[in-house]
């Protein structure tokens, strides 16, 4: 270990807490161990997360459970087509005395302690709202009432469903790039989990269910520091750096590495993307994963474990193939990991 | 020449032995003798006669009354006696008796000789009757003149016959087939065990890896970078065997898909732990503690043996 004794014990203490967060969420959300693990990684990498999935698979429950477990101030808002940026900042109404009143909106209500901001159905909101969110995510600040508000601990979770396309606004690439991960939440594949989700009355009322989750396991104010210690404490060797560079190269030029995806012209599949910011996010997430796996070094498995969620939405492919995007990008990433040798 | 091979000796001969009564007469229907030409025999010739005997059923020839092959006189041998039972038809039991004689008579001039008659017995259980195969005569001729005249012209000896050649083509063909078969079997074995250049083929990644490891970890050239290169060679072999990158976390899946490698699971895990320390922990000393270079060499050989199926 290169760290001095104190950070070492901090890290192991926080690792235990991270595992407890996972087990607490796992009590109320069944069959989503991988998603929970990735959410924990995102939390300790201080990254924002976009969840995608069908309706009713438990995205909202998952995020509410996570917010409870993290602790700190929590706000949420539903995306609608008439939602305007101002609605996030202030709330105008007539007071009981008949005078117009301006109250802080969801973003400002909790002040600068806001730790989890949860944006439901983000693709129903207009681009103006997206751009506000972009700044919140990128700079953790926003301007209102002639001053700048800072949210040093905020972490944005958003979700969207892919079922409806009417009255929705696709997120701009710049906004998607700000998300550390895009997580696909699928139905649990485990039969017993499915059975109890349907038949166990415990899962019928979400509010009482969430009451089982222990609150405030993590201290939002400390998370930033812990995240920094993790990033310093977990090392990457030159061999791993070379491996990640090779992965990056292979994603951008798959045809040069002999990667083949069925019936696709590999020379034109990847148009761009996999930005340097994306790669740095990738390494942040990989370091956190190594730490959760109780290692002080990043190994290729860590990179592989977080790669699809961190990188898939940053790879821009030819519009011809856009409709088959999920499968093609998945195959591309699988091909990259099959072809690029490590160490 | 219209000489039938067998001439009936006399015409149909109905034998009526003097001592046989009228009852016995009726029971022997016929004894017909068929014989070859009656002349032109020289010393050592064989004469084959056959007699067809017809009896009233239920009379049957008594096998004990058949003559046994033996020397009949100083010049005549009975060589073979064979009786064919031709069954009963229309109340008549028929036999064919084959007789083979050989004559050793040395006549000075053509001379008529007799083959004696053969007495036989037939019985129907209680009654017995006698019958006889008639005698037969033939002419024997000398082989040479009585007094030897002067010897003929002396002949030059002809050269010895060349020894006959034994046919060997078949043997040679068999030899060739066997040799080709043996060669093919040897090639198959070499291919399977990955001997020599056959070890370089794509389906034998561990054979190539073992070669590379041996080269890298030879005692004279062993060095930290060589240790790393040896590990990399083994990792490439694992990747090639699995068809995708194999990391430490993938080992359970790898062993499930390739159960042949299960016996070396412990060492393989140590290999992956060591390479983790070396490449990602930057701690060569710990890596060498985990798996010494000699162990890497031994492991590479064991993996090669597992791959060729001889572990």
Distance CA B162, CA A288 (A): 98
Q: Do A341 and B235 count as a contact with CB atoms less than 8 A apart?
A: yes
Looking at beta carbons, which residues of chain B come within 8 Å of A297? 276, 280-282
**B167-181 average pLDDT score:** 94
Nearest to B247 among A237, A301, A339 (CB): A301
Q: State whether residue A337 sits within 8 Å of chain B by CB.
A: yes
- What phi, psi does A219 have (nearest 5°)? -100, 115
Q: State whether residue B252 sits within 8 Å of chain A by CB.
A: no
- pLDDT less than 70: residues of chain A: 1-7
Looking at beta carbons, which residues of chain B come within 8 Å of A343? 231-232, 235, 275, 279-280
pLDDT over 90, % of chain B = 34
Task: Nearest chain A residue to B233 by CA: give it.
Answer: A343
Q: Counting beta carbons within 10 angstroms of the beta carbon of residue A15, is it exposed (0 to 12), middle (13 to 18) or buried (19 or more)?
A: middle
Task: Nearest chain B residue to A341 by CA: give it.
Answer: B245
For residue range B85-124, list pLDDT tens digits in order: 998 988 899 999 999 999 999 998 899 999 999 999 998 8
Distance CA A44, CA A288 (A): 7
Q: State whether residue B188 sits within 8 Å of chain A by CB.
A: no
Q: Do A340 and B245 count as a contact with CB atoms less than 8 A apart?
A: yes
Residue with tokens 């210690």: A229
Q: Which residues contact A328 (CB under 8 A, 6 or more apart)?
A: A261, A264, A269, A317, A321
User: In which band, very low, low, confident or very high, does the pLDDT at B150 lie, cut at 50, 70 and 90?
Assistant: low
- Cβ proximity of A61 and A213 under 8 Å: no
Burial pattern A263-292, b for ≥16 Cβ within 10 A else e, equals ebebeebbeebbeeebbebbbbbbbbbbbb
- Cβ proximity of B83 and B120 under 8 Å: no
Positive or negative, the CA dihedral B182, B188, B194, B196 is positive
CATH number for the region B7-140 comes to 2.60.40
pLDDT score of A168: 82
User: In which band, very low, low, confident or very high, does the pLDDT at B18 lie, cut at 50, 70 and 90?
Assistant: very low
pLDDT score of B12: 40
Q: Which residues contact B221 (CB under 8 A, 6 or more apart)?
A: B215
For residue range A177-190, list pLDDT tens digits in order: 888 888 888 888 88
Q: State whether residue B279 sits within 8 Å of chain A by CB.
A: yes
In this predicted structure, the answer to whether residue B198 has a pLDDT above a threshold of 70 is no
Cis peptide leading into A343, omega within 30 of 0? Answer: yes
Q: Is B96 helix (H, G, I), strand (E, B) or coil?
A: strand
Instruction: Output Rg (C-alpha) for chain B, integer angstroms.
Output: 48
- Cβ proximity of B237 and B209 under 8 Å: yes
Distance CA A195, CA A149 (A): 46
Distance CA B1, CA A82 (A): 135
pLDDT score of B10: 41
Task: Nearest chain A residue to B277 by CA: give it.
Answer: A297
Q: State whether residue A259 sits within 8 Å of chain B by CB.
A: no
Positive or negative, the CA dihedral A103, A106, A109, A111 is negative
Min Cα separation A301/chain B (Å): 6
Domain ranges of chain B: 7-140, 191-308
Looking at beta carbons, which residues of chain B come within 8 Å of A342? 235, 245, 247
Prediction pTM value: 0.66
Detail the DSSP E strand segments found in A162-281.
179-185, 270-273
**Residue contacts between A and B (CB atoms, under 8 Å):** 51
Nearest to B245 among A236, A298, A341 (CB): A341
Q: State whether residue A343 sits within 8 Å of chain B by CB.
A: yes
Task: Nearest chain A residue to B231 by CA: give it.
Answer: A343
Min Cα separation B295/chain A (Å): 20
For residue range B65-90, list pLDDT tens digits in order: 999 999 999 999 999 999 999 989 88
Min Cα separation A114/chain B (Å): 38
Looking at beta carbons, which residues of chain B come within 8 Å of A237? 279-282
User: In which band, very low, low, confident or very high, does the pLDDT at B219 lie, cut at 50, 70 and 90?
Assistant: low
Looking at beta carbons, which residues of chain B come within 8 Å of A298? 280
Q: Do A343 and B248 count as a contact with CB atoms less than 8 A apart?
A: no
Instruction: Identify the structural domains of chain A with CATH numbers, from first to last.
Output: 20-80+113-219 (3.40.50.300), 234-339 (1.10.8.80)
Question: Which two three-digit tokens encode residue B111?
Answer: 């001379």
pLDDT score of B22: 43
Question: Which two three-digit tokens encode residue A288?
Answer: 């956190």
Looking at beta carbons, which residues of chain B come within 8 Å of A238? 282
Q: Do A299 and B232 count as a contact with CB atoms less than 8 A apart?
A: no
Q: State whether residue B235 sits within 8 Å of chain A by CB.
A: yes
Task: Nearest chain A residue to B232 by CA: give it.
Answer: A343
Nearest to B247 among A235, A297, A300 (CB): A300
């Amino acid at each position: 270990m290169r760290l001095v004794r104190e950070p070492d014990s901090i890290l192991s203490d926080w690792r235990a807490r991270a595992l407890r967060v996972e087990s607490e969420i796992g009590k109320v959300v069944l069959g989503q161990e991988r998603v929970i693990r990735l959410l924990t990684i995102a939390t300790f990498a201080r990254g924002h997360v976009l969840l995608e999935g069908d309706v009713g698979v438990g995205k909202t429950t998952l995020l509410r459970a996570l917010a409870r477990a993290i602790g700190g101030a929590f706000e949420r808002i539903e995306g609608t087509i008439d939602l305007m940026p101002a609605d996030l900042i202030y709330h105008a109404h007539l007071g009981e005395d008949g005078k117009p009143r301006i109250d802080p909106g969801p973003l400002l209500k909790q002040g600068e302690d806001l730790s989890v901001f949860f944006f439901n159905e983000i693709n129903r909101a207009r681009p103006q709202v997206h751009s506000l969110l972009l700044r919140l995510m990128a700079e953790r600040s926003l301007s209102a009432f002639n001053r700048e508000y800072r949210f040093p601990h905020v972490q944005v979770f958003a979700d969207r469903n892919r079922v409806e396309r009417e009255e929705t606004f696709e997120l701009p690439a710049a906004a998607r790039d700000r998300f550390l991960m895009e997580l696909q939440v699928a139905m649990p594949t485990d039969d017993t989990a499915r059975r109890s989700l349907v038949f166990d009355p415990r899962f019928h009322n979400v509010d009482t269910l969430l009451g089982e989750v222990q609150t405030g396991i993590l201290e939002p104010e400390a998370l930033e520091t812990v995240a920094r210690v993790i990033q310093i404490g977990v090392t990457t060797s030159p061999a791993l750096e070379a491996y990640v560079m090779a992965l990056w190269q292979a994603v951008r030029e798959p045809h040069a590495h002999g990667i083949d995806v069925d019936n696709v012209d590999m020379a034109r599949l990847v148009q761009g993307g996999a930005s340097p910011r994306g790669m740095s996010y990738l390494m942040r997430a990989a370091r956190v994963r190594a730490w959760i796996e109780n290692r002080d070094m990043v190994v290729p498995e860590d990179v592989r474990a977080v790669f699809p969620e961190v990188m898939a939405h940053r790879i821009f492919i030819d519009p011809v193939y856009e409709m088959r995007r999920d499968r093609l990008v998945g195959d591309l990433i699988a091909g990259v990991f099959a072809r690029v040798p490590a160490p | 020449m219209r000489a039938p091979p067998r001439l009936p000796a006399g015409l149909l001969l109905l034998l009526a032995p003097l001592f046989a009564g009228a009852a016995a007469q009726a029971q022997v229907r016929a004894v017909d003798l068929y014989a070859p030409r009656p002349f032109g025999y020289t010393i050592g010739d064989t004469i084959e006669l056959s007699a067809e005997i017809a009896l009233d059923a239920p009379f049957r020839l008594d096998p004990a009354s058949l003559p046994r092959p033996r020397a009949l006189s100083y010049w005549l041998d009975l060589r073979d006696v064979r009786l064919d039972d031709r069954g009963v038809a229309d109340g008549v039991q028929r036999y064919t008796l084959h007789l083979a004689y050989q004559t050793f008579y040395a006549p000075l001039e053509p001379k008529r000789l007799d083959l004696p008659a053969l007495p036989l017995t037939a019985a129907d259980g209680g009654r017995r009757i006698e019958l006889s195969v008639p005698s037969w005569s033939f002419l024997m001729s000398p082989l040479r003149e009585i007094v030897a005249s002067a010897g003929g012209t002396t002949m030059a000896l002809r050269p010895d016959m060349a020894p006959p050649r034994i046919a060997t083509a078949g043997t040679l063909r068999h030899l060739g087939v066997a040799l080709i078969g043996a060669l093919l079997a040897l090639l198959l074995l070499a291919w399977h065990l990955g001997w020599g250049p056959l070890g370089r083929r794509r389906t034998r990644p561990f054979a190539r890896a073992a070669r590379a490891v041996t080269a890298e970890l030879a005692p004279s050239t062993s060095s930290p970078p060589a240790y790393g290169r040896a590990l990399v060679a083994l990792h490439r072999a694992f990747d090639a065997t699995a068809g995708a990158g194999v990391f430490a976390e993938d080992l359970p899946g790898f062993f499930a898909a390739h159960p042949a490698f299960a016996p070396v699971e412990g060492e393989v895990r140590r290999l992956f732990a060591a390479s983790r320390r070396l490449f990602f922990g930057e701690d060569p000393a710990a890596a060498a503690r985990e798996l010494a270079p000699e162990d890497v060499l031994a492991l590479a050989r064991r993996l090669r043996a597992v791959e060729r199926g001889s572990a």
